Amino acid sequence: MNGYWASFLVLLTAQCLLPSSGHAFFSPETYVSTFDLPYLVSDFLIVLFLAGTEVWLRFNYKYAHNLVLVSGLVISYLGFYVLFPFVNGAEIILILPVLLALVHFSRAVLYISGLSSIVFLGLTYLSAHSYNPRIDWLGFGIAVIYIVLGVLVGRAILERSQELRSSMESLVKSEQKLIVEKAISDKLLKMDALTGLYNHKTFHEYLENLILHCDTNGVPLHLALLDIDNFKKVNDTYGHWVGDVVLKDVAGCITELLSPNNFAARYGGEEFAVIFTDTSARQAAEEAEQIRKAIEDLPLTHSRAHPVTVSIGLCSYRPGSGKETLFRNTDDALYQAKRSGKNKVVLYEPADQ
């Protein structure tokens, strides 16, 4: 809109500077001024339309693009009406609607703008013919050719922009596909394919970060190791496919009872690991007991004659002791649970307590 207002100021300046009388529009004996009533009315209409457009854009953005396009048409047509009797080559201003149509990236708008410019130009020349039968129709022909060329160039620009747009969309889709594939690949690298829990590598990475956080900020951290009791016997008796079902069932119990702040992984074989954070040792032991009880209550399926049970060793991390010490103590607690009858939770108790 600022450009439109600037164009109107240029038009007014031209009106002030242009001499009276005309070139081919009027007969030689006709006296005409750029400030005669028809041209003043044209100026008024331009101001009125631009002001109305400004008000519309400030209070209602509906149809904003269409209104801006129409404003350009009004300026170009009325501006041509004012300049045509006084300026040779004023027809060039009628290419402006064609250029404005490119903003809409629409061939239909481009063709309509070009056609309307030619029609308006033809009506203007016919009107001039009533004043002066010797009107220069060569200028009309040249102007039409320029408008048609402008439409053709505009169509080529739109076709090229559409090609670029298609290329960009294809590129964006390819990038999105790569991002999704990378996310899936990253997830597969972090997850255990059988149980859906995190794998051994991801577990250690997460634990190391948590230990660093615990050493720095003193956040509570507890590690539990779960081992399925007599799992070798299940494989030997019922086959490895049943053993896989047992692993999935156990993983499902752990996942279902795990709170959002905790982390579970398949540590290896029939062994699982759970990290409890932001909780006390007693609360961690209670949650571990809930997991143990849920696994014990799993329904007997797939020809299993005995319930699945797990032994759990649990140890609280002491800031500064390191990951190796935490694992050794947790493993000792697990070994004690196995040795003392299995299917139980044993909390590691430091010797100095």
State the amino acid at position 252 in one-letter form.
G
**Nearby residues of 70 by Cβ (< 8 Å), 6 or more positions away:** 53
Using CA of residue 196, residue 197, residue 200, residue 204, what is the dihedral sign? positive
Phi, psi angles (nearest 5°) of residue 319: -50, 130
Catalytic residue selected from 91, 163, 175, 270 = 270
Q: How many Å apart are CA 266 and CA 38, to the nearest integer?
A: 88
Would you list the DSSP string of 186-244?
Answer: HHHHHB-TTTSSB-HHHHHHHHHHHHHHHHHH---EEEEEEEETTHHHHHHHH-HHHHH
User: Residue 290 and residue 287: Cα distance in Å, rounded?
Assistant: 5
Amino acid sitting at position 188: L
**In the numeric block, which tokens belong to residue 47?**
């101001």
- Which residues lie closer than 8 Å to 136 by C-beta, 6 or more apart? 24
Q: How far is CA 159 from the centre of its chain?
A: 26
What is the phi/psi pair of residue 259, to 5°? -80, 160
Q: Any catalytic annotation for residue 175?
A: no
DSSP 91: G
Tokens 């759990």 -> residue: 312
Which residues does the annotation mark as catalytic?
270
